Structure 1
Amino acid sequence: MFKTQIATYKNLSDADKKKFIADTLLDNALYILVLILIICVVIYNPRFISGSSIINILTLSSTRLVMALGIAGTVILAGTDLSAGRMLGLTACISASLLQAPDYAAKMYKSLTWLPQDPASSIIGQLICVIIIVMIVGGIIGFFNGFMSARFMLHPFIVTLGTQLIIYGLSLIYATWGSNAGAPIGGIDQRYTDFVIGNVFGDSDFYLPWLLVYAIIISAVIWFIWNKTVFGKNMFAVGCNAEAAKVSGVSVFWTTTLVFMLAGAMYGLAGFLESARVGSNTAATGNGYELDAIAACVIGGVSFTGGVGKVKGVIIGVILLQIINAALIFLNVPGSITYIVRGAIILVACAIDMRKYLIQK
């Protein structure tokens, strides 16, 4: 990429070289600002680039990455998904309620005794079962989103805005089931926690958590689906031009529906992982997560105009956003200012994306 840009630069006239440099700086303005921010934070607090700090940033990015990869598919279709955060919250509550420790006094389902009493026993089978359950729940809701968008030609923004509220209501209802009475769903089994956020190896200075390993595996699977399957090719074709894709024999209805189903399953998986990371889940778990995920997609080059996006771009976008959040914490920036910065990032990223689109036209 850089070699191509250098070769292009050398063949330009002096006037065009200045314009080329200005355009390049503008297109990469967000990355440049993040780099400047990192330098400032390192000067202020060198611990920001310590091994444990870097691993912590990557670990915190893992769950958001799983969600962002789901949302990225809907953005590639020139849509979006505002229900992602609430879907994560619902599936996180379901995961926590099904995997509470057997001896936890405030168990949501006191009659549920499917986990072994012995703390040394394996619960891999139960964990896989819960993963399947939450992915099915997410997939069903995703199917509804995709069906409504494709069948009735409704913009995904409107559809998912409605389902966002519906899912939040379902989460509030679910939190009152059993003996829970709306209290935070905690007391999750330590074996579940270890399965998600336990360390593969390492110590406090440098370690590799399982959550990061799962994120890498999931990213590889999504990369394969996007780039090596007919479904992935159809997704990009519909995102580029739905009418042209339809003429070419692509089922726009089923492609759109399946993209939202895959996204929903990803949110369910993210909910399973986030539930163990958070430890105590409520109906508010996941609130606003979809905004960070959408911002990460745009930062990573997934275009709202449709048909453009790469897995590596989404990964970069999620990590950059988490670096910014961590940097603001290291600089002791108030939480209220953090929201302003995140909002500004979304606006800048979208403006840069639209500028690239207009230049291409």
Structure 2
Amino acid sequence: MTNMPNLPGAPQRAPVSPWKSRAQWIWSEYSVVVAFAAIVLIASLADTHFASVNNVTNILRQVSIIGIISLGMTMVMLSGGIDLSVGAVLALLGALSVSVLNATQSVWLALLAALLAGAGVGALNGLMVTKGKIPSFIATLGMMASARSIVLYFAQGGSLSGKAEGYTAIANTEWFGLAVPVYIFLLMTVLVYVLMHKTRFGRYVYAIGSNEKAALLSAIRVNRVKLGVYMLCSVFVAVSAIIESSRLNSISSASSGISYELDAIAAVIIGGTRMSGGRGKVIGTFFGVLILGVLNNMLNLMNISPYLQGLVKGLIIIAAVLLQKKEPQ
């Protein structure tokens, strides 16, 4: 089919170069991958130790906990919401897991308790947002303060340590040179990718994030989908809580999970998910997590003060949002 000529008097449109259009599409879809490759290249040139096998496996181990949380945060943000409670809830669920472990000497009961409690916390967040009509920012902010207060009271501001064998093996066992948490992170990335991009539930999440009123008029059960999203997010936090408490065989009521919500949100935004919801990709979050991990590692190798790492993250978030605003429509 040939292009129709411009009508007389109609505004003339400059032809778009197919090369320029292709470049814009590649940048829009794969900018986070390009950014990751560039950062890895710079880090490799800046320090010869960066590309060593031990350092790479160490980066993957370090990002696995935040990575799992970020996957749950991606689903929430795609639906147009946000969850600020993930860090405090991690500390609470980790303390619960260790407490059940000590009381029953059963690793399986400890895992089950953390997962069920995570689903319960997520359901409470979802009900506040859907039935209570409370903005997700406020609802999860309240949950963050409540969860941190509960775990501080329960542990008297200190730490809880596990007293049963086998629990530490969850996070400290290695298969083929990689720690088990890395495999869990990769597996959950695949599962969330399939859920969000290959199922009806995922399509509904995108639809709600794009236009909640239109989704409601399309007979989508908006409240049920949003409830499911918040429950999944908190279950993912429970998995991260199990890994963190298993890695150290303890959980700190005061420091565990501190600023994890900021790291998760940063990874999701860097990965291209929009704060308003409805647009973003799970694979983008995956590379966003890796970018944060590489940056933290590079700053440590360069002996840059840890107090400045927050500044770097903040600048990256701002730059990512600015680039999203300039994406071609």
**Coarse TM-score class (shorter-chain normalised):** 0.7 to 0.9
CA-CA distance at 1:215 after TM superposition: 1.5
Counterpart of 2:173 (choices 193, 198, 203) is 198
AA in 2 matched with 1:333:
I
- Structure 2 regions of 5+ residues with no counterpart? 1-14
AA in 1 matched with 2:180:
W
The sequence identity of aligned pairs, in percent, is: 27
Partner secondary structure for residue 46 of structure 1: coil
Count the aligned residue pairs: 314
Partner of 2:125: 145
Partner of 1:273: 243
Partner of 2:257: 286
Stretch moving more, 150-159 or 79-88: 150-159
AA in 2 matched with 1:347:
I
Q: 1:328 to 1:188 in 2, by over 3 A?
A: farther
Counterpart of 1:60 (choices 52, 59, 62) is 62
Cα deviation, 1:15-54, whole Å, max 9, x if unaligned, reads x94x986997799777666555434432342111011111
Contact 2:36 2:290 in 1 (8 A): no
AA in 1 matched with 2:193:
W
Contact 2:94 2:242 in 1 (8 A): yes
Cα deviation, 1:118-151, whole Å, max 9, x if unaligned, reads xxxxxxxx33322221122121111111111112
AA in 1 matched with 2:128:
M
Q: 1:13 to 1:74 in 2, by over 3 A?
A: closer
Matches within 5 A, 1:77-226: 77-100=79-102, 112=103, 114-115=104-105, 126-176=106-156, 182-201=157-176, 207-226=177-196
AA in 1 matched with 2:309:
T
AA in 1 matched with 2:79:
L
AA in 2 matched with 1:211:
P
Q: 1:237 to 1:40 in 2, by over 3 A?
A: closer
Counterpart of 2:312 (choices 334, 341, 344) is 341
Stretch moving more, 23-32 or 211-220: 23-32
Contact 1:38 1:327 in 2 (8 A): no
Stretch moving more, 330-339 or 126-135: 126-135
AA in 1 matched with 2:110:
V
Distance 2:258 2:168 in 1: 22
Q: 1:355 to 1:129 in 2, by over 3 A?
A: farther
Contact 2:32 2:288 in 1 (8 A): no
Cα deviation, 1:131-177, whole Å, max 9, x if unaligned, reads 2211221211111111111123322111111111111111112213x
Distance 1:274 1:12 in 2: 51
Normalising by structure 2, report the TM-score: 0.86
AA in 2 matched with 1:248:
S
Partner of 1:7: none
Q: 1:312 to 1:277 in 2, by over 3 A?
A: same
Contact 1:67 1:266 in 2 (8 A): yes
Distance 2:206 2:35 in 1: 30
Normalising by structure 1, report the TM-score: 0.79
Q: 1:234 to 1:331 in 2, by over 3 A?
A: same
Counterpart of 1:319 (choices 290, 314, 326) is 290
Distance 1:221 1:26 in 2: 24
Distance 2:322 2:40 in 1: 23
CA-CA distance at 1:98 after TM superposition: 3.1
Partner of 1:47: 49
CA-CA distance at 1:198 after TM superposition: 0.8
Stretch moving more, 161-170 or 343-352: 343-352
Distance 1:27 1:227 in 2: 15
Distance 1:45 1:95 in 2: 40
AA in 1 matched with 2:196:
W
- Structure 1 regions of 5+ residues with no counterpart? 1-10, 101-111, 116-125, 177-181, 202-206
Distance 1:187 1:245 in 2: 46
CA-CA distance at 1:185 after TM superposition: 1.6
Partner secondary structure for residue 175 of structure 2: strand
Contact 2:71 2:282 in 1 (8 A): yes
Counterpart of 2:200 (choices 204, 218, 230) is 230
